[in-house]
Amino acid sequence: MNSKRENLLLIFTRNPELGKVKTRLAKTVGDETALKIYKFLLQKTRDISSKVTSDKAVYYSVKIRNNDIWDTNSYQKYQQLGEDLGLRMLNAFKNSFDAGYKKVLIIGSDLYDLSTERIDIAFNELDTNDVVIGPAEDGGYYLLGMNTLQENIFKNKDWGTDTVRKDTLVDLKDKKVHLLSALNDVDVFEDIEHHEAFQHFFK
């Protein structure tokens, strides 16, 4: 992208392949429906992120795809690198700050209820806070943002468990942290069982 902005939104995605996405959800709805739901969530993530005025980068879990829903005119494309989620996020943040960005946010791609406005608010909060976190109801977080690299928060965590956010906040006890309101990401059937947007998958 030619326009060099100070803000960068990172989007972590999994390559949408049968049997490799939403595996906990698939135990209830099956692999094919789980893949359809994940593609639906990817498109929702693209739709809300496309309206954010920052630069944007998609980080693929396995392989960079050129002809997919992420337009290369709007989204930089990278591959995630690292042995676990923490190191993959750390490398992505480090790349971003090394490239000269001043505020960097990361989101996943499995959150139907995330909005463009909430992402904008998170960027704005980094004017007066060191870190912004969007708490997920399962004990993790759906959004993480910072204006300088906080390397320690990406290490010594049990990723995918309900202790991640608590342990992260302990690491940040000397920093100014803003918490957004909690949202629920989509991991298991109970997360979407009664959500209106997903009912057509179960008919």
For every one of its 203 residues, what pLDDT tens digit does the chain have, with 9 covering 90 and above? 334 589 999 999 999 999 999 999 999 999 999 999 999 999 999 999 999 999 999 999 989 998 899 999 999 999 999 999 999 999 999 999 999 999 999 999 989 999 999 999 999 999 999 999 999 988 889 999 999 999 999 998 888 788 999 999 999 999 999 999 999 889 899 999 999 999 999 87
CB atoms within 10 A of CB 70: 24
Q: Point out which residues pair with 147 in neighbouring strands.
A: none
How far CA 147 is from CA of 85, 111, 125, 157, in Å, comes to: 20, 23, 10, 21
What lies within 8 Å, CB to CB, of 135 at 6+ separation is: 141, 142, 165, 179, 180, 181, 182, 183
What is the spatial distance between Cα 124 and Cα 118, in angstroms, rounded to a whole number?
A: 10
Going by C-alpha positions, the residue among 58, 50, 45, 163 that lies closest to residue 110 is 45
What is the spatial distance between Cα 70 and Cα 76, in angstroms, rounded to a whole number?
A: 9
Going by C-alpha positions, the residue among 111, 89, 93 that lies closest to residue 103 is 93
- What's this model's pTM, rounded to 2 decimal places? 0.94
What is the spatial distance between Cα 151 and Cα 77, in angstroms, rounded to a whole number?
A: 22
Local structure of residue 113 (DSSP, 8 states):
T
- φ and ψ at 121, to 5 degrees? -60, -40
Q: Point out which residues pair with 89 in neighbouring strands.
A: none
What is the spatial distance between Cα 116 and Cα 62, in angstroms, rounded to a whole number?
A: 26
pLDDT at 1: 37
Which domains occur in the chain, in start order? 7-202 (3.90.550.10)
How far CA 14 is from CA of 20, 79, 121, 194, in Å, comes to: 8, 10, 26, 25
pLDDT at 160: 77
The Cβ-side half-sphere exposure at 69, using a 13 Å CA radius, reads 19
